[in-house]
Each structure stands twice: as C-alpha cells, then as structure tokens.
C-alpha cells in the first residue's frame, strides 16, 4: 500500500473511530502519568528519610535501611506464605467449577467466589481476631509440641493465636477469590478440541486436565498468582488488626512476636508521626512500591517465557 493510499484511508476514518482511538491513547497514557506521579511524589518525600539522624528512629535502629529491612522481610514472608496456601486451593476450586461441577452448582459457586472479593478487609481482620485466632491456637500448641525442633515451629507458642501464620491464613482467604476467578475463566477458555482429543486417546478426566487444561492455563495461573501476591503485599487493615508487631526479623511462625509489614506499620504509626517521621513512613511506602513493581515485572518475564510452551499455541 502506497503512502498516498494509506493517507486516504486514514482521512476517511469516521469521527467515532477517531474519538475512540484518541480516548484509548489518553487512557493508556493516563495510567503511565499517574504511576510516574506517584513514584516522583514518594521519591521526593522520601529523601529526608535516607539522611535522617539515628535519633529520628525508634529503638536501636541507626539508619533507614536497618529500619525498613524487617518490614520488607515481614511483608514478603507473610505474602509468600499466603500465596503457598491460596494457589493450590484456588486451582482446585477453579477446576471443580469449570470441569466437574454441574452447571447450576458451578454458577452458584462462581457467584459465591466473586462475592468473597467484595468483603472489606476490616471484616476479614475482625474474623481473624474473633474467630480464626482462638480456633487455631490449640493447633499451634500441638505443632510446637510435635515439631518444636524445627526452626519455623519453635516456641513459645502465642497464647492468643495472633501470629504471622494466622495473618497468612487471613491473607490467603482474601486473595483466594481473585486467583480462583481468573483461573476459572482461563480454564474455561481451553480449546474443546484439545480436551476431546485427550479423552479420545483414552485419557482419564484428570489426565486430560493435566495434559490439556493446565498447560494451556499456566500463563494465566502465573498472572493470577502474581495479582494475588500484589494484593497480599499491600494489605493493611487485616494485618494491622491481627498481627502482634515486632521491629525485627523473626522466622518463627507461631510466637507472639512477629515481623510486621510495611503497609501495617504505616497504618499504625502514621497518625502519630510528624516531621521526619512522616518522611520515614513515606520512604517505606516507596520501598513497597518498588517491591510490588519488581514482583509484577518478574511475573511478566515468567509469563513471556512460558507462552511458547502454552497450549494456546
């Protein structure tokens, strides 16, 4: 096609096409602009924290990096524990809804899973304090008695059940509907011919799912998991309500003292902060912003590397 012909076709575009095209460009650019504005704001406001005097920090902390280190550890630790618990359950629920449950039951379960995503985080926090923590505390005691020789289950066990493991369970329940909903839609997009071909070759229902459905949905599973991980990394109120925070790195899962998260630390300390203290909290927010960005970039790299092996191709 010559340049003149392309120009003629472009000139003949309807006004609605031009408006829609411009609107999509503006919307896409707006996302980048907002992201850049947030990053610039956090960076500018965080500069005083990087050069703050040791007396500006509480406890034995001497600089910003020793202050934010345990917070980063607690944030990633609790989020990964939640992801390890939520992903297998979410995949199982999604497979049941998409390939095993009767149609009417599948629709009802799908609505129920979607409804869980609308529950406020404060409600999950109240549930974690009032129901989950007292319920699992005897189980924690048993774990310490049986597996106390292992570092993660060393005592003394928390008397209230409000531990980082309890927080991880709450986070797992919170991210479960997100991962389940995405995996369910991905599994439903599996080409019917792939499933029928596997069954025609003598595969059982599970073998068909293992050979056709799961390879096809693997990039989607990774995307859903990373989306859930981002949700867990940024959760604030539920963690702040359930966790008994401590400004140190603690690997034990069942003790009363636990590494807190960046988001919960900001929520608990921001109302009483002033001066450089506000800049320190904003600097921790910048660290969380960078961690979340790196997680999403890593997920994109993994997804792109797996596309060539996906059943979609």
- With 90 as the cut, is the pLDDT of residue 20 above it? no
- With 80 as the cut, is the pLDDT of residue 219 above it? yes
Domain limits of the chain? 16-310
pLDDT in tens, 277-287: 888 888 888 99
Check residue 7 and give its pLDDT. 55
Among 117-121, 297-301, 308-312, name the one with the lowest average pLDDT. 308-312
Check residue 49 and give its pLDDT. 83
Which residues is 246 bridged to in the sheet? 259
pLDDT confidence bin for 301, thresholds 50/70/90 = confident
Nearest alpha carbon to residue 84 among 215, 163, 170, 172 = 172
Q: What is 16-310's CATH number?
A: 1.10.3720.10
For residue 179, is the peptide bond before it cis, meaning its omega torsion is within 30 degrees of 0? no
- What angle in degrees, to the nearest 10, is found between the helix axes of 64-95 and 262-269? 120
- With 70 as the cut, is the pLDDT of residue 176 above it? yes
Reported pTM: 0.84
- With 80 as the cut, is the pLDDT of residue 55 above it? no
Q: Give mean pLDDT, residues 167-181.
A: 91
Q: Provide DSSP, 273-298.
A: --THHHHHHHHHHHHHHHHHHHHHHH
pLDDT confidence bin for 312, thresholds 50/70/90 = very low
């Amino acid at each position: 096609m010559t340049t003149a012909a392309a120009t003629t076709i472009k000139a003949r575009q309807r006004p609605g096409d031009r408006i829609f095209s411009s609107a999509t460009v503006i919307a896409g650019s707006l996302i980048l602009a907002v992201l850049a504005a947030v990053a610039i704001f956090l960076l500018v406001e965080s500069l005083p924290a990087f050069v703050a005097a040791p007396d500006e920090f509480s406890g034995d902390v001497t600089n910003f990096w020793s202050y934010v280190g345990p917070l980063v550890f607690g944030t990633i630790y609790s989020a990964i524990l939640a992801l390890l618990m939520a992903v297998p359950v979410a995949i199982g629920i999604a497979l049941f809804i998409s390939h095993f449950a009767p149609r009417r039951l599948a629709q009802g379960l799908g609505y129920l899973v979607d409804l869980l995503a609308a529950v406020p985080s404060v409600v999950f926090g109240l549930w974690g304090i009032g129901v989950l923590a007292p319920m699992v505390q005897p189980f924690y005691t048993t774990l310490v008695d049986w597996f106390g020789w292992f570092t993660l289950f060393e005592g003394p066990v928390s008397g209230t059940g409000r531990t980082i493991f309890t927080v991880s369970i709450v986070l797992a329940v919170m991210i479960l509907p997100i991962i389940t909903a995405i995996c369910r839609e991905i599994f439903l997009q599996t080409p019917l011919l792939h499933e029928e071909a596997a069954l025609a070759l003598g595969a059982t229902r599970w073998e068909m799912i293992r050979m056709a459905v799961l390879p096809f949905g693997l990039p989607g599973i990774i995307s859903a998991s990373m989306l859930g991980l981002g949700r867990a990394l940024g959760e604030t109120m539920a963690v702040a309500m359930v966790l008994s925070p401590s400004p140190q790195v603690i690997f034990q899962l069942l003790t009363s003292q636990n590494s807190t998260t960046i988001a919960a630390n900001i929520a608990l300390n921001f109302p009483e902060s002033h001066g450089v203290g506000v800049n320190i909290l904003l600097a921790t927010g910048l660290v969380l912003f960078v961690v979340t960005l790196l997680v999403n970039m890593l997920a994109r790299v993994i997804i792109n590397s797996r596309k060539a092996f996906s059943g979609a191709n």
